[in-house]
């Protein structure tokens, strides 16, 4: 298989908590699967470029790609996005409060 970008690394892993997202989507009654093989399209290219440009380390943001078949109703896609965002949010560290005044 040919690389998406010949100047980037051979592998770039999503940083979003994929197992938790799949678990939560399944619990919400939505079919889900985590896969590392990708469609050769704009979504995969954008994901790869973002992951390739992220700094190494714990401060890197959660990045992933959710795909939905084109025949899935909008309400289910919205539920999937909200469910995935909630799973990601559980891993966020609260920002320090600023003393204003």
Those residues with Cβ within 8 angstroms of residue 69's Cβ, 6 or more apart along the chain or in another chain: none
Distance CA 8, CA 43 (A): 17
The predicted structure's pLDDT at residue 97: 80
- The arithmetic mean of pLDDT across residues 14-24, rounded, is 87
pTM summary value:
0.70
Residue 8 has pLDDT above 80, yes or no: no
Domain ranges in the chain are 18-89
């Amino acid at each position: 298989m040919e690389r998406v970008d010949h100047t980037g690394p051979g592998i770039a892993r999503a940083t979003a908590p994929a197992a938790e997202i799949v678990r939560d989507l399944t619990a919400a009654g939505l079919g889900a699967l985590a896969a590392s093989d990708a469609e050769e399209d704009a979504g995969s290219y954008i994901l790869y470029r973002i992951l390739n440009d992220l700094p190494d380390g714990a401060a890197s943001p959660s990045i992933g790609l959710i795909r939905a078949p084109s025949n899935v109703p909008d309400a289910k896609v919205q539920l999937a996005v909200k469910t995935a965002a909630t799973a990601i949010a559980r891993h966020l560290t609260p920002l320090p409060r600023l003393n204003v005044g």
